[in-house]
Amino acid sequence: MLRIENLAKQYRTGDRALQGVSFTVEAGQVVGLIGPSGAGKSTLIRCVNRLVEPTSGKILLGDRDIATASRSELRRIRRRIGMIFQEYALVERLTVMENVLSGRLGYVPFWRSFSRRFPQDDVDKAFALLGRVGLTDHADKRADALSGGQRQRVGIARALEQDPELLLIDEPTASLDPKTSRQIMRLIGEICRERNLPAIINIHDVVLAQMFVDRIIGLRAGEVVFDGAPDTLDNDALTAIYGEEDWTQMRRERDDDAEEEEEARAQEERMAGLA
């Protein structure tokens, strides 16, 4: 379980990126973090793993306060936080298997990681995880030979290889097509439930968030302005998060997308009728 209490971040420039942010993420719960650009989503995710130093407040993972952890404590805590990034951050010239095993680098002695020799247990676990994310047949391929969706699956397996207590996921679908995005979001949700893992996903696609997360937290100007179940995210809530103008624009784009999809489907049906 992750508990954030009264978290605030003011950058040296004076920007108040977060203020009075409090919420709890239960084990197995996937939280989608939404909000307009500059709302503080990245700052929040980065405070949780202390890539950004919080100004005040608590970030409790179990009974440890990440916000005030010493350097050595922080190293231990970070091993328990799995990160999944938009850009996948894979090592291109290494194989899929080696990339997954690199999730263990914080644990294995330096000489072993350097010679890329990992304990058999870690290798077995990596194989099982590759099976779970549907990449068993790709274990020996180089990372740079994979598609975007496959790369994100490697990213997920790598984060799980370190036995995390929490997943932080930053824009996991930003470079993926709509169908692959849905597959990746579904996989993340399933895995969190199976492993009872809490997760925070920074996601700009509201529709996708509504389809696949358990709960949505909406940030605006550094404050939580919505916190609830996806099906309670109505027009008023979206206006509170994005403001009238931006939300109207988003709605228009969303309606356009829906219309396009409808048209494509009708076209397919006409073609099928002709055949």
Report the residue number, 37 or 120, with the smaller CB distance to ligand ADP. 37
**Could you say whether residue 28 binds ligand ADP (CB under 6 A)?**
no
Pick from 158, 155, 168: nearest CA to 200: 168
Kindly write out the interface string for residues 34-73 of this chain, putting x where it contacts ligand ADP by CB under 6 A and - elsewhere.
Answer: -x-xxxxxxx------------------------------
Report the residue number, 130 or 200, with the smaller CB distance to ligand ADP. 200
**Could you say whether residue 206 binds ligand ADP (CB under 6 A)?**
no
Report the residue number, 40 or 164, with the smaller CB distance to ligand ADP. 40
Residues 133-140: contacts with CB under 8 Å, at least 24 apart: 133/157, 133/187, 135/96, 138/96, 139/95, 139/96, 139/97, 140/95, 140/96, 140/97
**Could you say whether residue 11 binds ligand ADP (CB under 6 A)?**
yes
**Could you say whether residue 87 binds ligand ADP (CB under 6 A)?**
no
Say which residues have a Cβ less than 8 Å from residue 103's Cβ, sequence separation at least 6.
82, 157, 158, 159, 160, 161, 162
For every residue of 81-98, DSSP letters joined together read EEEE-TT----TTSBHHH
**Could you say whether residue 10 binds ligand ADP (CB under 6 A)?**
no
Structure tokens at 234: 């109505």
The three-class DSSP label of residue 167 is strand
- Least separation, in Å, of the C-beta of 70 and ligand ADP? 23
Report the residue number, 41 or 158, with the smaller CB distance to ligand ADP. 41
- Point out which residues bind ligand ADP (CB under 6 A): 11, 13, 15, 17, 35, 37-43
